[in-house]
Amino acid sequence: MKVIALEEHYLDAEVGRHFTEGGPEAKMPALRDRLLDVGDLRIKEMDEAGIDLQILSHTAPATQRLDADTAPKVAREANDRLKATVDRSKGRFLGFASLPTANPRAAADELERAVTKLGFKGAMIHGLTWIGNEKLFIDDPRFWPIFERAQALDVPLYLHPAVPHPAVVEAYYKEYVKEFPSILTAGWGFGVETATQGLRMVLSGVFEKYPRLKIILGHLGEGLPFHLWRIDMTFGRQGNRTTPFRETFRRNFWLTTSGNFSTPALLCTAMEMGVDRILFSVDYPYVPNPPGVRWMDDVPLSTEDREKILSGNAQKLLRL
């Protein structure tokens, strides 16, 4: 079976110079080396695991934390370099664009350029966008021009985690960060923050305005499939504005397996969303390739369903 992996990260050294916060790669040279490598080492590790194609996306926070004047140029140049990487790969890589979300109009224009001129398959948005002193979720109406353009181009936006809002860190996690730093990131904080992004998008009404907008969430939906029935039921209680939450989520979202190789979680997601909404991903290099591919060999699904997850659904969504 062909294997396509959708949430596979790299680091553009020029973008990295603008980071104001260090990720795990700052203290882990081997991880940083793999993020920077978009050539022989990466392809060797893809071959060893049996991965045919990676959709490359810049690691967090990409250009989310850059100001409205700086971000457009940085994003454009990074996307041009990613295009050159894709071309050199001879079919092993495709790209998701980085967007200068602090300047939403410029972000919409860069999305269009990346799709129509560079051949990218959508874009990845990391966590909160910082505009001045504001730290904004992506459902803020200021960002809706990006959604309008994504619908018009018929490409998905991948909502990816980044470090939670500083106020959340202070209130929820500070006592445990020293001993368990991953409580802020993949251990817990990433998932909660990104699930909140997805939930807020549904409640914002953006899918009523842009009903064909396509959103991807990683890590088997950041826990949302497990909660869909309960969210939908409680939002139907008196005092809440009526919203078809579960219906909207199941219609407008696709979910990947990135960094969550759990068979019970996969089966829950398949039962709630349907197999056609699940896409294979590894989360390389934060997670190594082989465990994800080996896991898919043994999941209790039909051959047809495994093939959909490993490549068929991606081919359809990204029009490969």
Question: What positions carry a catalytic annotation?
Answer: 283
CB atoms within 10 A of CB 166: 10
- Axis crossing angle, helix 263-273 with helix 224-235, rounded to the nearest 10: 40
Fill in the amino acid letter for 132: G
Would you call the peptide bond into 72 cis, given omega within 30 degrees of 0 as the criterion?
Answer: no
> Contact 314/214 with Cβ under 8 angstroms?
no
β-pair type (134-136, 129-131): antiparallel
Rounded CA separation 121/320 (Å): 9
Query: Which of 30, 102, 119 is CA-nearest to residue 61?
Result: 102
Q: What DSSP line would sit under 142-200, residue for residue?
A: GGHHHHHHHHHHT--EEEE--PPPHHHIIIIITTTTTT-GGGTTTTTHHHHHHHHHHHH
Question: In the chain, where does DSSP find H-type helix?
Answer: 13-16, 29-36, 40-49, 71-88, 104-116, 144-153, 166-168, 189-204, 206-209, 224-235, 245-252, 263-273, 289-298, 303-307, 313-317
